[in-house]
Amino acid sequence: MNRGLVDAADPISERGPQLGASPVSTDTHLDLNEVVLALSDALDLVGVDDVGHGKRVAFMATEVANGLGLPEVARQKLFLAAVLHDCGVSSSRVYRRLAGDLDWAGSPDHCRIGHDMLLSFEPLADLAGIVLHHHDRWRDLASGHAGSEDALLANAVHLADRVDALLAQAPRQDILLSRLEVRDFVEATAGDRFAPELVGAFLEVSEAEAFWLVLEPRHLERFILDEGRTLRARPMAPGELRRLAELFARIVDAKSPWTARHSESVARLAVVLGRLAGLPETVCEKLELAGLLHDLGKLRVPDDVLDKEGLLDAADYAVLAHHTFETWQILRRIRSFSEIAEWAAFHHEAPSGRGYPFRRAGARLDPPARLLAVADVFQALAQARPYREHLAPDAILKVLREMAGSGRLDPRGVDLVSANLGVCWEAATVAA
């Protein structure tokens, strides 16, 4: 049995949620902060069963900034840097090491990767230095960057980050008990690991039980929402949305060596198919974004499942089946993204209604969503997986035809591939 095909259209349950029709989207008034905060939800999935790390770090670091009385501009910068600080981590294995070890020798790698990513996207490039140094000890930072505001902000992220790691390592007990040891640890390392003024502010703001109680997911959500509203508006310039989507596509594709450039290639192929199908250029632009972001939810799939060499079992499939739902939940937070969220999240739906996780069928599955599903299967088959070699174009077409015949892929989309096989192959594999 070819596991890639089952992966693409495995029926999970006969009773999926029925979603109401979404309003037609208009791409106006997009704000960079809104998009960044929504996409940062994807980063928080990397913890798998310990989600929300970036938000917890953002809350604690921001509270410390409040305690220090930092100017509003610095506070907002710290909040965004904290939310994004682990954008260099896609792997659940790496996350476990970072959360489980106070001083893991491999931690500089993710600081460098995150730094380079942010530096490549000009609107967020001012956060790159903070991310680069967020595992540095204060005694090292202070000698090289004396008086630098970024050094202090990086160390504030470090403090909040290590507090969250200590809480993750604490025996299962009430957080109000764990906090005592955590506070002692922070106090004992003042001047060495953490800046003395940060430690002073942390001890002051974390004295109240309420500080620790906010760390529960539902309260954290509220904090992020409230904080997000205070951020200085940053309307997105033309082209920025696509470049930000490309950045997150790279984060997702970095999760497994097997999926390098998968999202980018799916997006490219989906646009090719969209144009061949005669979809308007404005629709193709959205389809490209949906392609880049379609597997955001995969950040919650443990590495062991994605890299497994043998056949997946029922438990693995159950874990995998969450990922498009997670993609949908992340993208629907962005106003004006309703169509993009659906097209991205429906890439494992099937015209027969036996796809997952929404069981969409017929007119409830838009042409762009159908084309994206075809592009996803095509590109996945064009790449090797741990359990099979990559397929040649003719072999891919044969599989697509079988899937169209059994209601798992849109037959018109597969006809377009058939009539343009060379072009599709190139779009799916160039630079892949």
137: left (phi over 0), alpha (psi -120 to 50) or beta: beta
Q: How far is the CB of 161 from Fe ion (least distance, A)?
A: 4
**Measured from the CB atom, is 54 or 240 closer to Fe ion?**
54
Candidates 124-132, 201-209, 288-296, 390-398: pick the segment binding Fe ion (CB under 5 A).
288-296
Q: How far is the CB of 69 from Fe ion (least distance, A)?
A: 25
**Measured from the CB atom, is 277 or 306 closer to Fe ion?**
306
> Looking at 161, 227, 326, 339, which residue binds Fe ion (CB under 5 A)?
161
Q: How far is the CB of 347 from Fe ion (least distance, A)?
A: 6
Instruction: Tell me if 295 contacts Fe ion by CB under 5 A.
Output: yes
> Looking at 10, 44, 63, 86, which residue binds Fe ion (CB under 5 A)?
86
State the maximum Cα–Cα separation within the chain, in Å, rounded to a whole number. 69
Instruction: Tell me if 376 contacts Fe ion by CB under 5 A.
Output: yes
Q: Burial-class residue 282 by CB neighbours within 10 Å (0-12, 13-18, 19+).
A: exposed
Which phi and psi (to 5°) does residue 328 adopt? -60, -45
**Measured from the CB atom, is 240 or 376 closer to Fe ion?**
376
Task: Spell out a b/e string for 115-135, using b for 16 or more CB atoms within 10 Å of the CB, else e.
Answer: bebbbebeebeebbbbbbbbb
Q: How far is the CB of 324 from Fe ion (least distance, A)?
A: 6
Which phi and psi (to 5°) does residue 411 adopt? -65, -35
DSSP string, 21-87: PPPPP---S-BHHHHHHHHHHHHTTTTTTS--HHHHHHHHHHHHHHHHT--HHHHHHHHHHHHHTTT
Candidates 63-71, 154-162, 224-232, 243-251: pick the segment binding Fe ion (CB under 5 A).
154-162
Candidates 13-21, 79-87, 114-122, 400-408: pick the segment binding Fe ion (CB under 5 A).
79-87
**Measured from the CB atom, is 101 or 313 closer to Fe ion?**
101
Candidates 13-21, 30-38, 116-124, 156-164: pick the segment binding Fe ion (CB under 5 A).
156-164
Chain centroid offset of residue 58 CA: 16
Chain centroid offset of residue 309 CA: 24
Interaction site with Fe ion (CB under 5 A): 86, 161, 295, 376
